[in-house]
Structures are given as structure tokens and as C-alpha cells.
Amino acid sequence: MFDLTQLLLSASYLGIFAIVFAETGLLLGFFLPGDSLLITAGILAQQGSLHLPGVMLAVALGAIIGNGVGYHIGRRYGPGVFSRQNSRFFRPEYVERTQAFFERYGGLALILARFVPVVRTVAPPMAGVGKMPFARFMVYNVVGGLLWAVSVPLLGYWLGSLIPHLDRYILLVVGIVLVLSLVPVGLELRKASRRQSGQ
């Protein structure tokens, strides 16, 4: 069984940085344990195995740099993928819709995406595909990265001080956080479905 606690104790801050960078910067990193990693790191910091400021710094650097790489991947390679005429799913008009979406909701979408698994991996390349100005992207990238890097490990730290031996129930805690993070997405999808059915 995958032991996230042991991984963090072995790889420490460099491992946290590498995992967060891969999850947020590389399209293939969506399966990596982002939220569970941060919560576990916060619990370990509360127990004294890691230092909370070090955890937050590693997460922030990995998240901000990773998103920057993801943006450039989308900017450089995304339009080519979307312009394939023979593809059923990647059509040129999707690029136009993406551009319009990030023009209207880009900043808020990038900040909220930090707290939603998979979405935080896809959002930066989509911002690049949508040709969001890089300076504007980086503002929201830094804000979202710092909020995520501080709040989620701090949640783990607080829960660890509140509940003894919480590291034994990490999967349950992560499951609850995951469900809560997906609630806004579900509500938005429901609204979109109602709008489409009403047309």
C-alpha cells in the first residue's frame, strides 16, 4: 500500500516541491496526491516531523512554478492540438470558447482551480490555450498558489492538534476534503445543465 507519510518523511521538502510541481505543471500529473499530500504534511508538521513554514514554502514554489510551466505548455502546444480537423473532441471553436471563458472568469477560475483535484492540473494549460496575458495569469497564479499552500497544510496542522493520532485516519480526512472541494464544481455543472435544458 502507498504510504504517503513515509514518503514525506523520506523525501521531505524537496519531495513536496517535486510532487506539487508535477501535479500542477505537467498534464500527466493529475493522478498525484495533491490535497492528501498537503494535509498529511500539515499533520506531520504538527507532530514535529516537518516544519510548517518549510512545507508552505515548498508547496508555494512547486505550485507557482508548476502552473507557469503548465501555462507555457498550453500556449505552445495547445492550439495545435485543438486545430486538428479530424478530431471529434479537439475543434478550433473550442479555442475560441476557452479564450472567452478566461477573458471573463480567468482570474477567479485559476484561484478556485487550486482547490479542485484534476482541475488544477488542466486550468493552467487552458489559460495558455486561451491566450490569457502571461502577466495577468501570473498574478492569479501567485495568489491562488499562496492561498492553497497556506490554507491546506494549515488545515492539516489544525486538525492534527485537534484530533490525536489523526495520521491513522488520513484517508478519511482526505476523502471529506475531496468531497467538499467538488461541491462547487457539481453546483456549477448543475446550473450549466439547467441553462442548456432551458434553451
State the average pLDDT over residues 18-45.
Answer: 79
Q: Is 96 helix (H, G, I), strand (E, B) or coil?
A: helix
**Over pLDDT 70: what percentage of the chain?**
59
CA distance 110 to 125: 11
Q: What is the pLDDT of residue 74?
A: 86
Cβ-contact 70, 23 below 8 angstroms = no
CA distance 20 to 22: 5
* Closest CA relative to residue 119, chosen from 143, 127, 146, 132: 127
How sure is the predictor about 170, in pLDDT bands with cuts at 50, 70 and 90? low
- pTM (2 d.p.): 0.73
Higher pLDDT, 11 or 110: 110
State the average pLDDT over residues 32-51.
Answer: 82
Q: What is the pLDDT of residue 31?
A: 62
How sure is the predictor about 117, in pLDDT bands with cuts at 50, 70 and 90? confident
Q: Where are the domains of the chain?
A: 4-198
Which single residue is written with the C-alpha cell 505537467? 26
- For the cut 90, the answer to whether the pLDDT of residue 149 exceeds it is yes
Q: What is the pLDDT of residue 158?
A: 86
Q: What is the pLDDT of residue 66?
A: 93
Q: What is the pLDDT of residue 171?
A: 59
Query: pLDDT tens, 10-26?
Result: 778 898 899 899 888 87
Q: What is the pLDDT of residue 121?
A: 81
Cell of 15: 519531495
Q: What is the pLDDT of residue 172?
A: 64
Cell of 180: 467538499
Q: What is the pLDDT of residue 17?
A: 93
Q: What is the pLDDT of residue 155?
A: 87
CA distance 14 to 59: 10
Query: pLDDT tens, 59-109?
Result: 999 999 999 999 998 888 876 655 554 444 445 554 555 555 566 666 787
Cβ-contact 18, 26 below 8 angstroms = no
**At 185, which amino acid appears?**
V
Q: What is the pLDDT of residue 190?
A: 64
